[in-house]
Amino acid sequence: MTKKQPSRRHFIKSSIVAAGSSSLLASSTALGRGQRKPLMAYVGTFSAPLQDVLPTQVDLPPGNGRGIHIFEVNRETGELIPKGHFELGTSPSRLAINASGTRMYSANETDKVGDTKEGTVSSFAIDPENGQLKRLNTVPSGGDGPTYVSIHPSKKFLLVANYFGGTIAVLPIHADGTLGKATDVKVDEGKIGPTRATNAPPGSFAFSGHDRTHAHMIQPDPSGRFVLHVDLGLDKIFIWKFDEKTGTLSPTKQGFVSLPPGDGPRHFNFHPHGHWLYSLQEEGSTIALFDYEDHTGKLTHRKTVSSLPPGYKGSNFCSEILISADGNYVYVGNRLHDGVGIFKVGTKGELTYVGEEWTRGNYPRCFNFDPTGNFFYTCNQRADNLATFRVNKKTGLLDFTGNYTAVGNPSCIEFLDLG
């Protein structure tokens, strides 16, 4: 199918330019003031080491990406228009943008830089006119293989989960957006779960992280009073009290909740009202619903459902979990099955399977909505592309737009509306 090309701009005839260049310039300037600034998209990738950027050794298998890929989003069609990339050879696989849209932070998923057995996190300034990036600084992440970053609501701290190190860290954000030395590092400890998931689908041989501790995600609750993180190898969700003055973590009375042995919690997401939490298990291919007490940080498990369509048999690895802005639908990523599972949220938070959508590429590691919620983008890691879908907000279903975007080993996508 031939892709329709955007219409070309009309050029002003040279005679008109010569006759009225000053008036044309004035009108063009006025038009420019009235134009809306672009909507940007940033794609984190698994990237090959770049000697000109990072002259020291970087471990982990290199990827096909070129760092952070930058796009302008067509607001009408959802098309991603390339606007360059910021070269990083340390696999910036997860990105976070602050609320004001002035700074970006990347988890650089390496487990060794030079002789140091530790990963890094980078900070960037975002140009308010064109969305381009300028690196501010890069600091140690508090462990090896940082795989997730999130910003605390106080705007003063960055939270990091180090997958291979089995640690989490709190990094201060200075007034200029740069990152400082960790104010706290916690090391996950406990009994490693079994290699066979309790709730694995029939015939599954899925095994990924039950060889040691693996901190996979860290996120504050909506209030910022508590911070939660998952360890896939320990099959636990940890809950911490957060001290904004010191940037330190301390255990809550509950401390943690356990998921079924071997199921491997990977990511979680709060419902918009903050009282329900949904946890996605990578190897068990399940979604667990918890009630959340925002004044104590306590989690209470209520129900678990499969992330896969009825009757599925074989291996699968879950990846991402998102909730629509209106709280009506939950979306989960199923790798190997290579689909997005879609669930309707009931009045008490319970999930009902609605359907699924093929991701048009293999191994969907991450996906996200654009700021309007009209478009949905999947990062198909092993297909080296992103696929764009239009969202039916009434049914929750996804409709492929026919638009693919080529990116080597995409890992995540974040959006920023410049105005």
Tell me the C-alpha distance between 280 and 288, whole Å. 7
Q: What pLDDT, on the 0 to 100 scale, is given for residue 50? A: 54
**Sign of the dihedral through C-alpha 109, 159, 226, 376:** negative
| pLDDT value of position 111 | 79
Burial of 254 (0-12, 13-18, 19+ CB in 10 A): middle
CB of 230 closer than 8 Å to CB of 281: no
Token digits for 396? 């929750």
What pTM value is reported for the model?
Answer: 0.90
Give kind and range of the element (H or E) at residue 199.
none
Please enumerate in sequence order all residues whose Cβ is within 8 A of that of 169, keeping only pairs 6 or more positions apart, or say none.
141, 142, 143, 159, 160, 162, 182, 184, 185, 186
pLDDT, residue 78, reads: 98
Q: Could you give the maximum distance between any two Cα atoms of the chain, in Å?
A: 80
**Does residue 21 sit in helix, strand or coil?**
helix
pLDDT tens track, the chain, 419 positions:
444 444 433 333 333 333 333 333 433 333 345 689 999 999 999 997 654 344 344 445 578 999 999 999 999 999 999 999 999 989 999 999 999 999 999 999 987 777 778 999 999 999 999 999 999 999 999 999 999 999 999 999 999 999 999 999 999 999 999 999 999 999 999 999 999 999 999 999 998 889 999 999 999 999 999 999 999 999 999 999 999 999 999 999 999 999 999 999 999 999 999 999 999 999 999 999 999 999 999 999 999 999 999 999 999 999 999 999 999 999 999 999 999 999 999 999 999 999 999 999 999 999 999 999 999 999 999 999 999 999 999 999 999 999 999 999 999 999 999 99
Res 13: pLDDT: 34
Q: Which residue has the tokens 């293999």?
A: 362
For the sheet containing 103-108, what is the strand order? 92-97, 103-108, 120-126, 133-140
Collapsing DSSP to helix, strand or coil, 284 comes out as coil
What residues contact residue 244 under an 8 Å CB cut-off, 6+ apart? 152, 154, 156, 157, 224
- For residues 172 and 155, what is the distance between their CA atoms, to the nearest angstrom? 9
Tell me which residue has tokens 């990977």. Answer: 266
- 248-258 vs 236-243, strand pairing mode: antiparallel
- In sequence order, what DSSP letters do the residues of 119-179 get, joined into one string? -EEEEEEE-TTT--EEEEEEEE-SSSSEEEEEE-TTSSEEEEEETTTTEEEEEEBPTTS-B
Rounded Cα–Cα distance for residues 86 and 69 (Å): 6
Containing 380, the helix (H) or strand (E) segment is: strand 375-380
Q: Report how far residue 67's alpha carbon sits from residue 46's, in angstroms, rounded to the nearest whole number.
A: 7
Task: Assign 3-class secondary structure to 79-126.
Answer: CEEEEEEECCCCCEEEEEECCCCCEEEEEECCCCECCECCCEEEEEEE
Q: List the one residue out of 405, 337, 334 whose CA is nearest residue 375.
A: 405
